[in-house]
């Protein structure tokens, strides 16, 4: 179950603005550095992240999250600079900020489009998580520290949701620094301790 609707909607809008600022701070050399996402540069991570949100806002949700669509998101933005991808994100964020408040409680608790397993609220929280995690992939690729907020709460909630679907019923750390490590372990970005699952290892 996603966090409260107001928390998620405010959080994803702020996270998109934070990510836009991050992209604008990158130079051409940093854009081409390898990321911890196998085979992707820092720029590729950004292209996927922005492309996924652009598809959602436009209603083109078929196949989102599949390897084929993910690769297409990157390929469609090949050659674009940090500022060009940031410009697209600014437009997408503006459209999302206008669209998201239109979802009432019934829609929020209803099924998500595009075949996502969960409610619309769960799906939007997943987008928030995705933006936060990929922003951290970008920061890690260029040697910058993790910035826990504004997205850590959404990331923890989404990872807990995904783990629960797989039968995990362990405890989530309460300390923010420990929560960051927990999310990284559960998403295959850090060693997975005994008792914790990798949500991508299906």
Domain ranges of the chain: 5-186
Is 163 within 8 Å of 197 (Cβ atoms)? yes
Residue 65 in this model has a pLDDT that exceeds 80: no
Cα dist. 32→39, 51, 53, 188, 197 in Å?
Answer: 12, 18, 22, 23, 31
Q: What is the pLDDT of residue 2?
A: 76
Q: What is the pLDDT of residue 164?
A: 93
The helix (run of H) or strand (run of E) holding residue 178 is helix 176-186
Count of C-beta atoms within a 10 Å radius of residue 148: 16
Side-chain half-sphere CA neighbours of 201 within 13 A: 11
Q: What is the pLDDT of residue 163?
A: 94
Cα dist. 128→32, 151, 171 in Å?
Answer: 25, 7, 22
The helix (run of H) or strand (run of E) holding residue 73 is helix 67-76
Fold classification of 5-186 (topology level) = 1.20.120
Tokens 């060693």 belong to 191
Tokens 């998403």 belong to 187
Residue 15 in this model has a pLDDT that exceeds 60: yes
pLDDT tens digits along 76-93:
999 999 999 999 999 999
pLDDT tens digits along 35-59:
999 999 999 999 999 999 998 888 7
pLDDT-based confidence at 10, cuts 50/70/90? very high
Q: What is the pLDDT of residue 119?
A: 93
According to DSSP H, which parts of 79-168 are helical? 82-99, 105-108, 120-141, 152-165
pLDDT-based confidence at 63, cuts 50/70/90? low
Residue 202 in this model has a pLDDT that exceeds 60: no
The angle subtended at Cα 45 by Cα 48 and Cα 174, nearest 5°, is 105
Q: How high is the mean pLDDT of the chain?
A: 92
The rounded percent of the chain whose pLDDT value lies above 90 is 74
Q: What is the pLDDT of residue 194?
A: 86
Structure tokens at 73: 């998101």
Structure tokens at 92: 């997408």
């Amino acid at each position: 179950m996603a966090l409260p609707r107001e928390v998620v909607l405010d959080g994803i809008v702020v996270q998109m603005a934070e990510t836009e600022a991050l992209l604008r701070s990158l130079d051409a050399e940093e854009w081409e550095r390898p990321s911890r996402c196998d085979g992707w540069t820092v720029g590729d991570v950004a292209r996927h992240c922005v492309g996924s949100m652009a598809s959602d806002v436009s209603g083109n949700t078929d196949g989102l999250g599949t390897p084929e669509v993910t690769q297409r998101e990157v390929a469609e933005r090949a050659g674009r600079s940090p500022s060009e991808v940031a410009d697209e994100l600014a437009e997408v964020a503006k459209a999302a900020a206008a669209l998201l408040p239109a979802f009432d409680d019934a829609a929020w608790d209803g099924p998500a489009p595009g075949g996502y397993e969960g409610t619309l609220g769960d799906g939007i929280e997943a987008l928030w998580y995705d933006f936060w995690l990929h922003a951290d992939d970008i920061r890690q690729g260029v040697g910058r520290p993790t910035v826990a907020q504004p997205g850590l709460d959404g990331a923890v909630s989404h990872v807990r949701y995904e783990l629960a679907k797989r039968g995990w019923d362990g405890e989530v750390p309460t300390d923010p620094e420990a929560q960051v490590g927990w999310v990284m372990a559960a998403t295959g970005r850090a060693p997975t301790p005994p008792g914790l699952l990798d949500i991508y290892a299906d």
